[in-house]
Amino acid sequence: MKQSNDILNIAKETILLESKTIANLVKLLDNSFSDAVNYILNSNGRVIVTGIGKSANIANKIVATLNSTGTPAIFMHAADAIHGDLGIVQKNDVVICISKSGNTPEIKVLVPLIKNSDNKIIAITGNPDSFLGTNADFLLNSYVEKEACPNNLAPTTSTTAQLVLGDALAVSLLELRGFTSSDFAKYHPGGALGKRLYLRVSDLIKNNQIPKVSAEDKITNVIVEISEKRLGVTAVLNSEEKLVGIITDGDIRRMLSKTTQIENLTAQDIMSSNPKTINVNAMAVDALDTLENNSISQILVTDDNNEYVGVVHLHDIIKEGIF
């Protein structure tokens, strides 16, 4: 059995080799890359990404990245393409063809068929002099000196290079399209990521009760209100229903640690004035930031007229999975 240090050294060598190779891709970038980006940007069609073997797996990932960042893309397996799936490619579509060698039999059959339909080809290949490299309209050089595999056989470094070039394409297109976080949310409505981008304070408080007392209310009423509304806090309003303070269950505990003579105390005697608030239309993630930055568990919510409308509790945010 290998010692732990030996295993870690193998892992470190793999990571260092791949990182050096990726850094070298910067030197291989030329105007063909920017021309390819501009062509996709100005195209009325989709991006079809194809490959075979491990390159097909990378093609699938690039398709997913393009779709999620505003560039419509479809995966087409190179072997299936020459057995009926070539119909995926429509007029004005651009085809990204991925192949380390650029000389596989399927690629040699596929490339002329695509060109015969007047579709442009963007090659991602480690061999610019290959059949694919010399017949492509745009060439993205993904050359790697050696694979991380000790036998220099298993696609490792080469597929990483292909993936990074695909990411570079997607990010370039994203920025040129002016793709914003709001756009991103449209394509990622599910999960924690989507919720961070679209969930608002109004969504968090819609099922919460609205604890409130008047400034003149007795402390016993305050305790009952906090207990019944189960948010650990209550807003304090003046006679005009304007927000003037906040009382938390912590305030109640601190009061009781100092005195048990509470008969004559009112809400205004123990409330914190000028409480922190957040607008009902603010993003939920902004509410989280406010809670964290102020080391508090609840924040009062107001509408556009600064009227008190509810409470956001840290538990509401945790429940939505964006904490």
Q: Looking at the chain, list the stretches that DSSP marks H as alpha helix, in order from N- to C-terminal side.
A: 4-28, 31-42, 54-68, 78-81, 105-116, 131-135, 157-177, 181-187, 191-198, 201-205, 219-229, 249-258, 267-270, 284-294, 314-319
Binding site per annotation, positions: 77
Radius of gyration of the chain (CA): 30
Is residue 25 within 8 Å of 157, Cβ to Cβ? Answer: no
Strand, coil or helix: 218: strand
Is residue 28 within 8 Å of 128, Cβ to Cβ? Answer: no
Instruction: Specify the DSSP element, H or E, that contains 43.
Output: none
Q: Residue 31 has what DSSP assignment?
A: H
CA dihedral for 277, 283, 288, 289, sign (positive or negative): negative
Q: Residue 271 has what DSSP assignment?
A: P
Measure the CA–CA gap between 319 and 317, rounded to whole angstroms.
5
Structure tokens at 42: 């100005």
Is residue 217 within 8 Å of 267, Cβ to Cβ? Answer: yes
Measure the CA–CA gap between 20 and 42, rounded to whole angstroms.
33
Measure the CA–CA gap between 61 and 191, rounded to whole angstroms.
19
Question: Would you mind telling me the total number of residues written for the chain in this entry?
Answer: 323
Residue 59's CB: how many other CB atoms inside 10 A? Answer: 27
Binding site per annotation, positions for Zn(2+): 77
Measure the CA–CA gap between 235 and 247, rounded to whole angstroms.
6
